[in-house]
């Protein structure tokens, strides 16, 4: 086990540099005992985990960052590599350990660890291996940080968020999947590209499964506050539904394209998850399409996690936005939930 943290001692005698460098001012009071310290733990230091860690550091989202992995050498190497950039980053204590006890007192635990699919392996067998992995990861995190929020990034994210919820015993608002937050960013980028506008001026969501059965909410898309489809209808501007479907297909296929070109995705998911971390820890109350317990929404029955536009804050999921869906979108969302449930029921959890 390797663990490293900043210290104020130097040399074999343990000279206390704090006492040597700084002299207290007269009539000073001790530091406040009110907790203002923020701690984030990232579980898994693969390409995704490290992209998330790096983005969290550069965006100054935490006072303390913990990295956990079973590969001790890679773990220590990644920790040192980040620590060596200290002169270029906001001050953050960076620790690493193969022991999950280092995560104690975390405000947010981000889980990116997951088993890789073996060539020829069925999706169900892969899920069972990930279930075993989560049985080893989630309970210790809960034991060491009973008040934390769990943010699941590992794929298939919707099912593994459900697994994490069941294993943790947490209330549903404190178990969140990264879901379609990134898919929606890709969606907004493609629409902005078509209309030659800034993606930040596009309001658009992908909901449902983070995967092939995801649903594009075309009926609620707006640009600069103008509902796009109703505007086209009022102006009698023709558009082909096939064009809309192709944009959605590009969203679904975009991750596969990146993987085929560079072998994995990392930077976009890093920014996406850091964006979620900011909203949660800084109580931003922003709306994000993330994987939540969807039972009771839009006619969905059964305990299934899938992405819906939800308000995030310090308490995790604060509520789900009441977005209007047309009949076709509602049916597709229900079908997406059924797709997840069919696989989920085979896990026996």
Q: What is the pLDDT of residues 187-210, one digit of tens each?
A: 999 989 988 999 999 999 999 999
CATH number of 36-177: 3.40.50.720
Q: Exactly one of 95, 144, 210, 288 is catalytic; name it.
A: 210
Binding-site positions read 44-49, 69, 130, 153-155
Locate the domains of the chain by residue range: 36-177, 180-346
Q: What is the pLDDT of residues 248-296, one digit of tens each?
A: 888 888 888 888 899 888 999 999 999 999 999 999 999 999 999 999 9
Report which DSSP code applies to 113. -
Q: What is the pLDDT of residues 102-140, one digit of tens each?
A: 999 999 999 999 887 677 776 678 888 999 999 999 999
Binding-site positions for NAD(+) read 44-49, 69, 130, 153-155
SS3 10: strand
Report d(CA 317, CA 325) in Å as an integer.
Answer: 21
What strands lie across the sheet with 226-227, from one edge to the other?
Answer: 202-203, 222-223, 226-227
Indicate whether this model's pTM tops 0.75.
yes
SS3 111: strand
Q: Which pLDDT value is given to residue 34?
A: 67
Give the CA distances from residue 259 to residues 122, 263, 327, 337, in Å, rounded to whole numbers and listed in that order: 20, 4, 34, 26
CATH number of 180-346: 3.90.110.10
Q: Is 210 designated active site?
A: yes
Q: 109: part of which helix (H) or strand (E)? A: strand 108-111
SS3 242: helix
Q: What is the pLDDT of residues 207-223, one digit of tens each?
A: 999 988 899 998 888 88
Secondary structure string (H, E, C) spanning 73-105: HHHHHHHHHHHCCHHHCCCCEEEEECCHHHHCC
Average pLDDT, the chain: 89
pLDDT of 12 strictly over 60: no
């Amino acid at each position: 086990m390797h663990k490293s943290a900043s210290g104020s001692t130097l040399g074999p005698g343990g000279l206390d540099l704090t006492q040597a460098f700084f002299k207290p001012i007269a009539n000073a009071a001790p530091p406040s005992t009110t907790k203002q310290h923020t701690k984030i733990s990232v579980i898994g230091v693969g390409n995704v985990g490290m992209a998330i860690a790096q983005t969290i550091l550069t965006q100054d989202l935490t006072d303390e960052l913990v990295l956990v992995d079973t590969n001790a050498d890679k773990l220590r190497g990644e920790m040192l590599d980040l620590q060596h950039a200290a002169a270029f980053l906001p001050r953050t204590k960076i620790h690493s350990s193969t022991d999950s006890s280092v995560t104690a007192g975390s405000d947010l635990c981000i889980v990116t660890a997951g088993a890789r699919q073996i060539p020829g392996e069925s999706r169900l067998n892969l899920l069972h291996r990930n279930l075993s992995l989560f049985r080893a990861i989630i309970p210790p995190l809960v034991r060491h940080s009973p008040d934390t929020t769990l943010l699941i990034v590992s794929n298939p994210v919707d099912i593994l968020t459900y697994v994490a919820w069941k294993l943790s015993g947490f209330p549903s608002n404190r178990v969140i999947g990264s879901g379609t937050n990134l898919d929606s960013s890709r969606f907004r980028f493609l629409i902005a590209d078509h209309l030659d506008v800034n993606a930040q001026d596009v309001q658009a969501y992908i909901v449902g499964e983070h995967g092939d059965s995801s649903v594009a909410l075309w009926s609620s898309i707006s640009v600069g506050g103008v509902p796009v489809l109703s505007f086209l209808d009022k102006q009698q501007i023709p558009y082909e539904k096939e064009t809309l479907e192709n944009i959605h297909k590009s969203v679904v296929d975009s991750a596969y394209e990146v993987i085929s070109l560079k072998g994995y995705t990392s930077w976009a998911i890093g920014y996406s998850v850091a964006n979620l971390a900011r909203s949660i820890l800084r109580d931003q109350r922003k709306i994000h399409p993330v994987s939540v317990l969807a039972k009771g929404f839009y006619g969905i029955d059964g305990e299934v996690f899938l992405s819906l536009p939800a308000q995030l804050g310090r308490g995790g999921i604060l509520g789900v936005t009441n977005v209007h869906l047309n009949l076709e979108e509602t049916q597709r969302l229900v079908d997406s939930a059924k797709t997840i449930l069919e696989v989920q029921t085979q896990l026996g959890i």
